[in-house]
Amino acid sequence: MRTFFGLTNQYIQNVYEQFFYMKYYSNWSLVELYNLPVGLRKWYFDKLLEQKEKEVEAEKEAHRR
């Protein structure tokens, strides 16, 4: 467990999950992800989530027809 001056385990877990999804779906390298400013990484991750949600919705719509 991290201390007062460190990042929490939950925060680190979230960062690693972002890294995994960005690497898996967008082919970012770990070096690129580690060097990406936090705000920019969050923006890219949010856009990735939006895109995946749109794709899932489009697939559901296609199956309804």
Instruction: Name the H helices within 1-65.
Output: 9-26, 30-35, 38-64
d(CA 24, CA 56): 17
pTM: 0.80
Name residue, tokens 């296609």: 62
Q: pLDDT class for 48, splitting at 50, 70, 90?
A: very high
Confirm whether 4 is domain-assigned.
Answer: no
Name residue, tokens 């749109």: 54
Q: What percent of the chain has pLDDT over 70?
A: 94
Domain of 48?
Answer: 9-64
Confirm whether 2 is domain-assigned.
Answer: no
Confirm whether 27 is domain-assigned.
Answer: yes
In total, how many domains does the chain have? 1
Confirm whether 3 is domain-assigned.
Answer: no
Q: Output the six-digit token pair for 2.
A: 């991290």
Confirm whether 1 is domain-assigned.
Answer: no
Decide if pLDDT at 2 tops 90.
no
Contact between 2 and 9 (Cβ < 8 Å): yes
Confirm whether 34 is domain-assigned.
Answer: yes
Q: pLDDT class for 5, splitting at 50, 70, 90?
A: confident
Average pLDDT over residues 33-58: 96
